Amino acid sequence: MKILAFDTSTDALSVALGVWPAPGAEPRRWEHTGPGGAKASAALIPAVMALLQQAGLNLSELDAIAFGRGPGAFTGLRTACAVAQGLAFGADRPVLPVDTLHAMAEEARHHHGVQRVVVVLDARMDEVYTARYQFGPDGAPPTALQVVPPEVVQATAPWVLAGNAFTVHGDRLPTGVPRLSVLPTASAMLRLAPALLAAGHAVPADQAMPLYIRDKVAFTTDERLAQAVTRATTAESPVAPTPTP
């Protein structure tokens, strides 16, 4: 089996190519990482072609092209989806959409050995993307992906928090549980890909779609001003005295 995977949903670009010599065996991998964001659209295709050249493969030899479908940065999701479609159309290959949060949970599992993961991906606009993933023999289907204020996220032992939202929202997220800094990586997508393919998640190129969850990209100037006023008013509000019995 041969799978190309890439993710551009965050500020990091991640590309990986995996070749499995036999079912269940460890794949041989070629990987590339670099800056994401606006630079990803220019760097992604050259990185893909470089990995294929290193592996001595053509696109037409791949079994699938996996891409991070979201949630995440709007521009990054459109970039990944467009490149996956273009490569798959040209090579007549299926595409494999992979949830960004699933890849992050897999990173936490693989590198830290945790089995119960609450993923928190910064969604900007004072919110986070979140979902729960449970691995191992007691594994259960993940919860629905959500975009919520950080205070809404719940995590108690033995669950852990994993993601990239701690710098921005650390004081608003649950305390008392481990916090693991992880990003969605193409290597994590390669580890997930065999099971996702076996479960029938691959689709034709024209069915590759980003997963946004939220349609809005940013607050307007008026909305930011209103929020600032609300925060200032809340901070300055006097605390009501406790009645004397």
pLDDT at residue number 220: 37
What is the structure's pLDDT at 231? Answer: 45
Q: How many domains does the chain have?
A: 2
In a domain, 229, yes or no: no
The answer, yes or no, to whether residue 226 has pLDDT greater than 60, is no
Mean residue pLDDT of the chain comes to: 89
Give me the numbers of helices (H) and strands (E) for the chain, helices first please. 6, 10
Residues in the chain: 245
Let me know whether 49 and 84 are in one domain. Answer: yes
**Cα separations in angstroms, 80 against 45, 151, 181, 229:** 10, 30, 23, 38
Residue 236 lies in a domain: no
pLDDT, average across residues 198-202: 96
pLDDT of 162 strictly over 90? yes
**Residues 41-81 pLDDT 10s:** 899 999 999 999 999 999 999 999 999 999 999 999 999 99
Shared-domain flag, residues 18 and 82 = yes
Say what the pLDDT of residue 153 is: 97
Residues 6+ apart with CB under 8 A from 99: 68, 69, 70, 131, 142, 145, 211
Give the domain CATH number at 121: 3.30.420.40
Query: What pLDDT is recorded for position 138?
Result: 77
pLDDT digits (tens, 9 = 90+) for 81-97: 999 999 999 999 999 99
Range of the domain at 168: 102-181
Q: Is 201 within the bounds of a domain?
A: yes
pLDDT for residue 203: 97
Same domain? 93 vs 51:
yes
Collapse the DSSP code of 84 into the 3-class scheme (helix H, G, I; strand E, B; otherwise coil) and give the result.
helix
Percent of the chain with pLDDT over 90: 79
User: For tokens 């996956």, what's the residue?
Assistant: 84
The answer to whether the CB of 68 falls within 8 A of the CB of 83 is: no
Of the pLDDT bands very low, low, confident and very high (cuts 50, 70, 90), residue 215 is low
Residues 55 and 140 grouped into a single domain: no
Specify the pTM: 0.86
